Amino acid sequence: MKRIGIFTSGGDAPGMNACIRAAVRTALANGLEVYGIYRGYLGMIEGDIVPLQSSDVSNIIQRGGTILKTARSDEFRTPEGRSKAAENLKKFGIEGLVCIGGDGSFKGASVLYEEHGIKTIGAPGTIDNDLYGTDSTIGYDTAVNTVVEAVDKLRDTAASHNRLFIVEVMGRDAGFIALRSGIACGAEAILVPETPTYIDGLIQKLREGWSRKKHSSIVIVAEGDESGGAYQVADAVKKNFDKYDVRVTILGHIQRGGSPSAYDRVLASEMGYAAVKGLISGKYNVMVGRQGREIVYVPFEKAIKHNKELNKYLLEIAETLSR
Amino acid sequence: MKRIGIFTSGGDAPGMNACIRAAVRTALANGLEVYGIYRGYLGMIEGDIVPLQSSDVSNIIQRGGTILKTARSDEFRTPEGRSKAAENLKKFGIEGLVCIGGDGSFKGASVLYEEHGIKTIGAPGTIDNDLYGTDSTIGYDTAVNTVVEAVDKLRDTAASHNRLFIVEVMGRDAGFIALRSGIACGAEAILVPETPTYIDGLIQKLREGWSRKKHSSIVIVAEGDESGGAYQVADAVKKNFDKYDVRVTILGHIQRGGSPSAYDRVLASEMGYAAVKGLISGKYNVMVGRQGREIVYVPFEKAIKHNKELNKYLLEIAETLSR
Amino acid sequence: MKRIGIFTSGGDAPGMNACIRAAVRTALANGLEVYGIYRGYLGMIEGDIVPLQSSDVSNIIQRGGTILKTARSDEFRTPEGRSKAAENLKKFGIEGLVCIGGDGSFKGASVLYEEHGIKTIGAPGTIDNDLYGTDSTIGYDTAVNTVVEAVDKLRDTAASHNRLFIVEVMGRDAGFIALRSGIACGAEAILVPETPTYIDGLIQKLREGWSRKKHSSIVIVAEGDESGGAYQVADAVKKNFDKYDVRVTILGHIQRGGSPSAYDRVLASEMGYAAVKGLISGKYNVMVGRQGREIVYVPFEKAIKHNKELNKYLLEIAETLSR
Amino acid sequence: MKRIGIFTSGGDAPGMNACIRAAVRTALANGLEVYGIYRGYLGMIEGDIVPLQSSDVSNIIQRGGTILKTARSDEFRTPEGRSKAAENLKKFGIEGLVCIGGDGSFKGASVLYEEHGIKTIGAPGTIDNDLYGTDSTIGYDTAVNTVVEAVDKLRDTAASHNRLFIVEVMGRDAGFIALRSGIACGAEAILVPETPTYIDGLIQKLREGWSRKKHSSIVIVAEGDESGGAYQVADAVKKNFDKYDVRVTILGHIQRGGSPSAYDRVLASEMGYAAVKGLISGKYNVMVGRQGREIVYVPFEKAIKHNKELNKYLLEIAETLSR
């Protein structure tokens, strides 16, 4: 292998730039040439591809977002689109790919291999942490810290006013952000799609807290929780328990941005390094993962099955500590 | 005067604790006794009043919210409620008050004086900066910084995706937060209630920017803008200009919280100091203000008239720099 | 076991409060009474011991430092001191202890057991991460983030002036903080006590970088590096390579403070929970550790041997990415 | 005037980029061409001069440092050096200059005018706030916030250990940073070059505080204080009062970096705008200043005289509130 390409795909996540930097420099240090493909599969189809040197990735490790940008491509979902993409890669002499993204991106890479033999190795770049086979994805730690900092600010206000804040965080299918941030900000309750949400139980808990003079509370709700989200929870609480001044906050897109945390910068560096090392040693159709202290390679089909489980121990701790 | 009371009222604002600390210590240094009244006028009616020592306000200068809490009181809007409040003050021997709050709080203090002769001096504590007679209110600088930090995060994401973010910030009647934060984060447009909002012009501007390869943009909207808010603006843009992936973010209550900025801590300290000094020298029914480099005392009736003007120079700068 | 004590000892670390909160609430949820012992072994000797309720640990999860304070005690190093401590524990009916601290604290606990049969379980609270048997200690992640934020600021200045900054970080015996923060801020070199430091090699690297137009650089030095620290490295560089304007920054005690990161709050919560659960199930003279995804119990004598190794994979990555 | 140049000079300061952006866009909006001169007077001599478009200053408002870099130039101190600089400006057709810097930079600009008739307008870019004629300089508010955040972290640790921290902040000739940051972090004492420092009085104050159970303290020292700095103060305290565990922290260069605060971004935008407007209307050899709510133009010779006074009111407040 002499020349590889690198691209980011799907929603952006803090740490993607650190991963790009690591992959580029590892490739160069191992005698490979590297091309950056802009805007994911869209740029692959349009031939938006440029060579990258070490200095092109200087001073980006601390930046949120992705310098290679990311975009959706409907055309890539068609065989014709993928043929164009493959032709462009051949035209540029690109023999292997590093894809930083989530499940959709890895599915695309699998199909590209089946149809055109393009070998791709993935690095999990998504704040949602919903990929199987890795303890943590690039961007997850930063997103949790962003939530925690925001909720710390809300708590100032909650404590000054005897208020209940219902805070909705990202996670359409998974409660990872909600669970860790809920523990970290001492939330009184954490509502996630993976466990049944009993509004009656929540109200009972708030009532008991109130009677123990706990006059401000935070409830964290994952956007994919079966309750329907923060507004629905707020309505239900207001109808049944009127002591609190109930307020809703939807944290939204700020969760995707910001300078990556130290944890995410190190993880992204490890993963960019391991991705290129894996590609060199012949691996493809696999995602780099971190399991405990080990860096592992997880087949794409396993990684994207959405069966990663929430840590039950943390659920139990959350329950105990919120009393 | 031998004994004064201090309370916070209305929405909480970062820096209120710094102001409480300054007022308490200035009072003690001048031989006065100080009582803290919890939960504003509500605590005044309920007699939730305790003596404060210097050590009670140690280590609070950096905390958001207010240690004295704040609450709404419907009862205080009645003559009976105000009589109870006045009786409690007399019972505790409180001869003057420092009120940290906004226009509603100062109106209440005026009535209390008219009916019961209680002398109050105000310190402007509100993130909205909508009080006449002071360049800046306690909490305003922190709120603007909170908005700017959030928008910096959004810009990472916007730049990675060619997105337009419409960001709604606080300001029901006034565009102060929107204007300063809009300039500080380099927003492409700033929509405030004080000036007419022309959606056509906005779309034209976005169109021109796009043609100049400006593929990510931020628009800041004050919640009180006559457009109706961020969702309305987003809908109008989407209908007329489909290049952008348009997203809405409502920043919400995080704008009220957080550790106060250095600016707000110093301002709040100056104002708490000046409030007590003013009370000692016989001033009342006035709000402490900062005009340029001077600390001034502004009659309540002037301060609360909601006729403070946006800085036209800043509007002009915003217009020029967003090109 | 009916009543336990909890204390913090040694240098403070962000997350200690989160661990106290978790231990207190877990104990109460399991029917135990909990006493807080102030100022570590010093307070144990002086009988500075108070009962703790759930509300005593409200709203502390986000605070740096330790509400139970910490202190050195020379008296505890004597048999007489330890006898006094043991007597006080008996007087208060305390049957087990949770000790949040580092190696010195755990040694003290071991001796207390040997001499007086007091059973202690430890939680590793130290920013240095130098305890064997746990991937991470409470406070380490926050300290690394603090370093990274500081170095990000220095990089602004370095890049504006063509400067070389030599930054000294904490770590008298170990390079854990230096290594992770060095990778996370993209340092050009990382000097740690665990590996030999070749100043000649460093200068050669800076020279090569300069010739490739890399005109600003950051070098991270652990305070315990055999080079002698940042000033010594700076002197050596200045003598041999005069292109750079070389500056030294000693980050110092800010590394111990600050609101804990989300990671540290969750880790501390897990550890406080596990410590009490361990005590209940009969464990003692062990430290709670985290290994990969597992919570483990590590005998004190193993934990404190100072033979924890730096992650070699990270050293290799650091070397590759700094080119 | 058809074409102007812009450069940054002296120590870098957060907000310089915001000022560059404002000046460039204001110039373009007024039909001028703009050239960026890299590395201050050094680049002027070397002809390191490039045209700037609006997009060249996109997405820099939030960045610390200066994209135009800054450097010292001994050659510019010679008539020959200045002749080269003037020739280069003529060669590029540059008719006026915007200089963002401090007193030394403005002196240079004055000489350049005397000798070669080059007209320069200045914007005060320095964290030290030591220029007469403006309430605030670009970077000052950010530097004060950086100090305050660092000291907040130290206070966590101080409070946990009964420690006294002596913190040295920037300010060789002036105590502006020390005074505002000292008030904002509630320092027990603030030592500045503008007022006599009585170590005896300081020790007396610490002693009194200790007897009132104030067991942790922060003292802020400006580096230019006549005591000699933080280490000297620490030694003197240790010799005379041994209750505290005394620690020294030198904050150093982190004070120059970081993303600018909202205040500095707005101020820098105003000043960049006003500088170009001034140049167009025929002003030169003047510095843009902010006095209260007004933007003013201050002759260079007045601005650089180092006779700006500390706000006495703030000194008095600091004294009162630290009790």
For A219-256, what is the HEC assignment?
EEEECCCCCCCHHHHHHHHHHHCCCCEEEEEECHHHHH
pLDDT of B306 > 80? The answer is no
End-to-end CA separation in angstroms for chain A: 57
Q: If contacts are CB pairs under 8 Å, which of residues 167-196 in chain D contact chain B?
A: 180-181, 183-186
What local confidence, expressed as pLDDT, does residue C314 receive? 95
CA distance to A129, C177, D312, per residue, from A269 (Å): 17, 16, 51
Please give the C-alpha separations between residue B174 and each of B104, B180, D177, in angstroms, as whole numbers. 16, 12, 32
Residue with the two structure tokens 């109808």: A239
Please indicate if any CB of chain B lies within 8 Å of the CB of A264. Answer: no
Residue C17 clears pLDDT 90, i.e. is over it: yes
Question: CB–CB of C254 and D153 under 8 A?
Answer: yes
CA C259 distance to own-chain centroid: 14
Question: Which parts of B93-187 fold into alpha helices (H)?
Answer: 103-116, 140-161, 176-184
C230 near C249, Cβ under 8 Å? Answer: yes
**Residue of B160, B254, B256 lying closest to A12 (CB–CB):** B160
Angle at C267 between CA C262 and CA C271, to 5 degrees: 150
Active site members of C:
128
DSSP D138: B
Amino acid at B200: D
pLDDT single digits (tens) B219-232: 999 999 999 999 99
Nearest chain C residue to A159 by CA distance is C59
CB distance B233 to B188 below 8 Å: no
Note whether B65 contacts A159, CB cutoff 8 Å. yes
What is residue A175's predicted lDDT score, i.e. its pLDDT?
96
A1 marked among binding-site residues: no
Task: Report the C-alpha gap between B203 and B166 in whole angstroms.
Answer: 13
Q: How many CB atoms lie within 10 A of CB D79?
A: 10
The alpha carbon dihedral of A254, D150, B259, B143 has a sign of negative
A24 dihedral zone (left: phi>0; alpha: psi -120 to 50; beta)? alpha
Which residues of chain D register pLDDT less than 70? Answer: none
Report pLDDT digits (tens) over C58-69: 999 999 999 999
Neighbours of A70 (CB within 10 A): 28
A214, pLDDT greater than 90: no
CA distances from C282 to A38, C119, C252, D51 (A): 58, 9, 40, 74
Cα separation, B167 vs B182, in Å, equals 10
Q: In the structure encoding, which two tokens stand for residue A252, read together?
A: 């939204």
Residue A60 to residues A21, A209, B105, B174, C141, Cα–Cα distance (Å):
7, 46, 49, 38, 21
Residue A243 pLDDT exceeds 90: no
Residue D303 has a pLDDT of: 95
The helix (run of H) or strand (run of E) holding residue B34 is: strand B33-37
User: What pLDDT is attached to residue B276?
Assistant: 98
Q: How far is C12 from chain D (nearest CA, A)?
A: 7
Across the interface, whether the CB atoms of B258 and A153 are under 8 A apart is answered yes
Helix (H, G, I), strand (E, B) or coil at C38: coil
Judging contacts by C-beta atoms under 8 Å, the chain A residues touching residue C273 are 317, 320-321
Q: What is the mean pLDDT of residues C222-234?
A: 96
- Give per-residue burial for A21-55: e unless 16+ CB within 10 Å, then b: bbbbbbbbeeebbbbbbbbbbbbbbbebbeebebe
More confident residue, C48 or B245: C48
Q: What is the pLDDT of residue D215?
A: 82
3-state secondary structure of C17: helix
Catalytic residue among A12, A48, A128, A264: A128
* Interface contacts A/B by beta carbons within 8 Å: 99
Query: According to the per-residue pLDDT averaged within each range, which of B170-174, C99-103, D213-217 is highest?
Result: C99-103
Query: CATH number for the A3-139+260-305 domain, one of 3.40.30.10, 3.40.50.450, 3.40.50.1220, 3.30.70.260?
Result: 3.40.50.450
pLDDT over threshold 80, residue A323: no
DSSP string, C95-154: -EEEEEE-HHHHHHHHHHHHHH--EEEEEEB-TT---TT-S--BTHHHHHHHHHHHHHHH
Cα A166–chain centre separation: 22
**Per-residue pLDDT tens digits for A31-56:** 999 999 999 999 999 999 999 999 99
CB D6 within 8 A of CB D89: no
What number is the average pLDDT over the span B269-286?
Answer: 98
Exposure b/e, D293-303, CB count within 10 A at least 16 = b: eebebbebeeb
Sign, Cα dihedral of C74, C78, C81, C85: positive
Percent of chain D with pLDDT over 90: 91
Q: Say yes or no: domain A141-256 is CATH 3.90.950.20.
A: no
Supply the DSSP string of D267-278, one letter for each residue. HHHHHHHHHHHH
Q: Residue A38's pLDDT is what?
A: 98
Instruction: Please indicate if any CB of chain A lies within 8 Å of the CB of B247.
Output: yes
- Residues of D annotated as part of the active site: 128
The percent of residues above 90 in pLDDT, for chain B, comes to 91
| Contact status of B163 with chain D (Cβ, < 8 Å) | no
Reduced to 3 states, what is the DSSP secondary structure of residue D93?
coil
Q: What is the pLDDT of residue A197?
A: 84
Alpha carbon distance C129, C309 (integer Å): 11
pLDDT attached to residue B165: 97
Closest CA to A90 of A101, A82, A80, A98: A82
Instruction: Report how far residue D225's alpha carbon sits from residue D222's, in angstroms, rounded to the nearest whole number.
Output: 5
In the predicted model, is pLDDT for residue C214 greater than 90? Answer: no
Query: Which residue has tokens 């008050």?
Result: B97
Whether residue C257 and residue D12 make contact (CB cut-off 8 A), yes or no, is no
Residues near A77 by beta carbon (within 8 Å), at least 6 away in sequence: none
Active site residue B128: yes
Q: Is the CB of residue D313 less than 8 Å away from at least one CB of chain B?
A: yes
Rounded Cα–Cα distance for residues B167 and B37 (Å) = 37
pLDDT band at B215 (very low <50, low <70, confident <90, very high): confident
Answer whether residue B323 shows pLDDT above 80: no
Which pLDDT score is estimated for B307? 83
Cα Dmax for chain C: 71
Q: CA B274 from chain center: how many Å?
A: 19
Write the single-letter amino acid at C316: E
Q: Average pLDDT over chain C, rounded to whole?
A: 96
Contacts of A55 (CB under 8 A, 6+ apart): C212, C213, C214
Q: What percent of chain C has pLDDT over 70?
A: 100
User: Rounded to the nearest 5°, which phi and psi values hold at D223?
Assistant: -60, -25
For residue B96, pLDDT beyond 90: yes
Q: pLDDT digit string (tens) for C253-264? A: 999 999 999 999
| Inter-chain touch B152–D263, beta carbons under 8 Å | no
pLDDT band of residue C44 (cuts 50, 70, 90) is: very high
CA B235 to each of CA B153, B164, B187, B208, B288: distance values in angstroms, whole numbers, following the listed order: 23, 12, 19, 19, 43
Q: What is the pLDDT of residues A53-93, one digit of tens each?
A: 999 999 999 999 999 999 989 999 999 999 999 999 999 99
Residues 195-214 of D with CB under 8 A from B: 212-214
pLDDT of residue C310 exceeding 90: yes
CATH 3.40.50.450 residue window(s) in chain C: 3-139+260-305
Q: What is the mean pLDDT of residues C148-173?
A: 94
A317 part of contact set with chain C, CB < 8 Å: yes
Q: What percent of chain A has pLDDT over 70?
A: 100
Percent of residues, chain D, with pLDDT higher than 70: 100
Sign of the torsion angle spanned by Cα atoms A86, A91, A95, A98: negative
CA D185 to chain centroid, in Å, comes to 20
What residue ranges of chain D are covered by domains with CATH 3.40.50.460?
141-256
Question: Hey, is A13 helix, strand or coil?
Answer: coil
A247 contacts on B by Cβ (under 8 Å): 253
Considering only the beta carbons, identify the residue of D25, D59, D147 that sits closest to B323. Answer: D25
| Closest alpha carbon within chain C to A152 | C62
Say how many C-beta atoms besides its own lie within 10 A of residue C316's C-beta: 12
